[in-house]
Chain A
């Protein structure tokens, strides 16, 4: 079974509107972390936001927020006020295990291609 599922291969949004990118995860580990990355056409992976499994509040970083619903095992990324430069591939990832532990690693979803229209 896939550990990270991104069901939207592609999404379109109008400039200045908000968009939600879906991510669901599967783990039995009580300690885990969830990440979102942006990959523009240049190929670099840009860290956007992190949510720990024990964090009580949803993470926010500028225009990015993570809608963390633990019981539903979902970690959707919300981008507010979309900009043309937001057009890119977006990856959801999960870290299982304790930080620094021998089984600590990231598993990535297949990504969602976001296109922002002017």
Chain B
């Protein structure tokens, strides 16, 4: 079965500092990968998704970027964090087996920008 790792689990960063969140996937190959953000008490907002190495689609304009240097590695970055970047960041991987489809999520990273 698929396992998604995210680190760090929690991060407190000052405004204007850089960011790098990493997501790695085990147990599958060539997955679709996703970065979501969840503000406190709200639903999930899709930030980026990738259908392959080097292929990144951005859903919302922002100061974040994503990269996929390897098949099972997805990185979320920022050069200068804003207060509004605070939130819970979730990485997800999708998999299809026949007609059944699943999307698995990692444990998430809680980011607080001060």
Contact indicator per residue, chain A 1-44, by CB within 8 Å of chain B (1) or not (0): 00000000000000000000000000000000101010000011
Determine chain B's interface SS by DSSP, over half rule. Answer: strand
* Interface hits, B9-56 → A, CB 8 Å: 32, 34, 36, 42-46, 49, 51
B101 is contacted by which of A52, A91, A107, A108 (Cβ under 8 Å)? A52
Structural contact, B90 and A45, CB atoms closer than 8 A:
yes
Cβ contacts under 8 Å, A107 to chain B? 46
B42 touches A110 (CB 8 A): yes
Would you call A35 and B103 a contact (CB within 8 A)? Answer: yes
Check A100 against B43 for contact (C-beta < 8 Å). no
- Give chain A's interface residues, CB within 8 Å of chain B: 33, 35, 37, 43-47, 50, 52, 54-55, 91, 93, 95, 99-102, 104-111
A104 touches B51 (CB 8 A): yes
The answer to whether B94 has its CB under 8 Å from any CB of chain A is yes
Considering the chains assembled together, what is the distance between the CA atoms of A13 and B51 in angstroms? 40
Q: CB-CB < 8 A to B34: which residues of A?
A: 105-106
**Residue B110 at the chain A interface, CB threshold 8 Å:** yes
- The CA of A52 and the CA of B100, in the complex, are separated in Å by 8
Contact B108 A44 (CB under 8 A): yes
Whether B51 contacts A100 by the Cβ 8 Å rule is: yes
Q: Which 7 A-B pairs have the closest CB atoms?
A: A45-B105, A108-B44, A110-B43, A108-B43, A99-B96, A43-B108, A50-B101
Provided the pairs A99-B94, A99-B96 are in contact, do residues A106 and B110 lie with their beta carbons within 8 angstroms? no
